[in-house]
Each structure stands twice: as structure tokens, then as C-alpha cells.
Structure 1
Amino acid sequence: MSAPRTLVLMRHGKSGYPAGVWDHDRPLNDRGRLQAALAGEWMANDGLEIDAVICSTAERTRQTLERTEIDAPTVYTEDVYENTPEDILEAIRTHTPEDARTLLVVGHFPGLPGTALMLDDDADIDGFPTSTYAVLSIGVPWDRVGLDVDPDARLRALRIPR
């Protein structure tokens, strides 16, 4: 068995709805910028040292990541833009360096909470508001996440920055 890993699944901050702007290009609003910065502070206070990031290509996810001030190698991919848990798990298997100990995925609802529940079906997730992040322990290699039964996968924390 491989050494435990940490997966952090973060929903983007609250976004605005400017007229005439395609969903993909919607920016964060003032509240979303504050939420994302607070989430970054909380992750640091929680001792989460992010080694790699997978981020949706949407503007609001990019701005969320920027506001967290997390500085780690990042892959931007459509694979987590408004996609299913299966798509997100495939992105994790495909884009995560094997030596990463802690991975952050910045994406959208409902894909991220669905991913957490696929990995730990006993997880208590009642809502997943903007800027929420779930912290999961993962016991399999990144290239096997979601493929093998992972008896060590469990939700360790669900944080809602407010």
C-alpha cells in the first residue's frame, strides 16, 4: 500500500453575473474574492501544503485560485469545468504528479461534492456553498483514485469560509 495522500476539493468563490457574459467567463464578485482569500488562509492554518493544483479553466476558478495565494504547479483543464465526478477523477488520475502529497482541485458544484461522495460514501456533506473545501485522505496512488476500492479514503474536514 502506498503512503497516504491528501485531496482538497474546492468550489470557486461566489461569482457575479454580468450581462452578456458567457458562464465560463463570469468573474468573482466582491464576496467571492473575500471568500477565496479566507479559504487560502484557512488552508494554510490547517497545515495544508499544496504540491499540485488542477483548476477548471473558468474565470471564476482561476480568480479563486489566485486569491488563495497558493503557489503550486497548476494544470488548467476543461475536465473539471461543470463536469461529473467521473470526469474529475479522470482528471486527477491523468494530471497529478505521482510524487504530489497534497493535491488541490478547484472546480464547481455539483461535481466536487459528488467526487467526495464517490470516494467516501459515508461522508457527511450537507451542502457545498461557494469557496467550500473538502479535505480527504487518499490511500491509493493518484493514477488509481476512483478506480480501486480505497479503504483509507475518508472525508477529514469540510470547511466553509465565511
Structure 2
Amino acid sequence: MSDPRRTLVLLRHAKSDYPDGVADHDRPLASRGEREATLAGDWLRSGSGLESAVEAVLCSSATRTQQTLARTNVEAPTHVTERLYGAAPGAVIAEINAAATTFGFEPQTLLVVGHEPTMSQLALGLSEPEESNITAFEHISTKYPTSAMAVLRFGAPWSALELGSAALTTFYVPR
């Protein structure tokens, strides 16, 4: 029997640039964002805070999220979707709930690359306060900076993920 524990990593895109005449969806990373995304990838691939390597990725279709993911050098099946751009937490949960169908397997560790304020709302909403790291919870309540990652643990298939059902274990800001 496989281990039912799941790890969800919520990565906010790295610092973006604001070029004149470029639509929000198409904004690229700034130089600082490129560095931070690389550091985020170093942390993800090092195994710090994760029980297993990232096995699948859900990524917003925005240019800055895709560039963030590319800079992490995480190699895993990836589903890029417009639904994560400007999404409410419920839409992200629906994408996570469908992970086994989307990828054709039940990933143990799932990375979601998205935007604020959705990442902080999602991390706090999914967290069961009594099971969570209070320091991480307080940091996210204050600020969820670019390139920051919340790590949550969940003890059932992704299809059962709902508000208040996960333990927030780590909040990491690569700098």
C-alpha cells in the first residue's frame, strides 16, 4: 500500500518586471526575480522541508509564473492552465482536487505556481491551525513575498483536499 501522505507546495511567482505596454498576464521576471526563482529551485530540489521530490506541477499560464517554474529547474510533469491566473482559492482547490486525473497518477508532492493574494489565502484557508506551524502561519498572515513557498501536509488523496484539512509545516522565502 502506498503512503497516503501528500505534500503541497504553494509557490508565489518570483519578482516580475513592469515593462511599458505589456499586459499583466505577459509581464516577465525582473533580474531579481530570476535570481530568487533559482534560489527557490535550489531549496525545492535540496529536499529541505519536503518528504519527497516534486512529482507534478500546476502552473498559471502567466509569463512570470512559467518563467519562475523554468528557473527552478524542477523536472516533473507540468500542467499550465489559465484557470490559475487571477484565480480564487476555490478554483485552485478544484485544480488540485483533479490532480490524479490531470496527471494520470496520484502525485505525492504537488507544486502549484501562482499569484497573490491567492497563494496566501489558499495556504491559510487550507491550514488546520492546531496542526500547523504557528510561526509559518503568522508570517503568511503578514506577508507572502515573491518566490515564497508554503509547504502543507495532507493525509488523503488530492480529491479530498478542502479548507481546513492540511497542516502548514513550513514557510520559506528564498533570498
Same fold (TM over 0.5): yes
Give the stretch that moved more between structures: 19-28 or 95-104.
Answer: 95-104
Instruction: Give, in whole Å, the separation in 2 of the partners of 1:5 and 1:70.
Output: 18
> What do residues 84-122 of structure 1 show as CA deviations (whole Å, max 9, x unaligned)?
111110111123444200000000001111111111152
Instruction: Give, in whole Å, the separation in 2 of the partners of 1:142 and 1:10.
Output: 18
Per the alignment, residue 120 of structure 2 pairs with 113
Aligned residues: 158
Per the alignment, residue 78 of structure 2 pairs with 74
The code of the aligned residue for 1:156 comes to T
The code of the aligned residue for 1:158 comes to F
Per the alignment, residue 62 of structure 1 pairs with 66
Instruction: Give, in whole Å, the separation in 2 of the partners of 1:15 and 1:108.
Output: 11
Equivalent of residue 129 in structure 1, options 145, 167, 175: 145
Instruction: Give, in whole Å, the separation in 1 of the partners of 2:149 and 2:14.
Output: 11
Maintained 8 Å contact 2:59/2:66: yes
The code of the aligned residue for 1:120 comes to S
What percent of counterpart residues are identical? 46
Structure with a larger share of its residues in helix: 2
Per the alignment, residue 143 of structure 1 pairs with 159
Instruction: Give, in whole Å, the separation in 2 of the partners of 1:27 and 1:137.
Output: 31
Maintained 8 Å contact 1:75/1:95: no
What TM-score do the two structures reach when normalised by structure 2?
0.85
Instruction: Give, in whole Å, the separation in 2 of the partners of 1:108 and 1:95.
Output: 19
The code of the aligned residue for 2:123 comes to A
Give the stretch that moved more between structures: 74-83 or 58-67.
Answer: 74-83
Moved over 4 A (4+): none
How much is the aligned-residue C-alpha RMSD, in angstroms? Answer: 1.5
Instruction: Give, in whole Å, the separation in 1 of the partners of 2:72 and 2:119.
Output: 18
Equivalent of residue 83 in structure 1, options 67, 84, 87: 87
Maintained 8 Å contact 2:106/2:157: no
1:6-25 alignment runs, 5 A limit: 6-25=7-26
Per the alignment, residue 28 of structure 1 pairs with 29
Q: Runs of 5+ in structure 1 lacking a partner? A: none
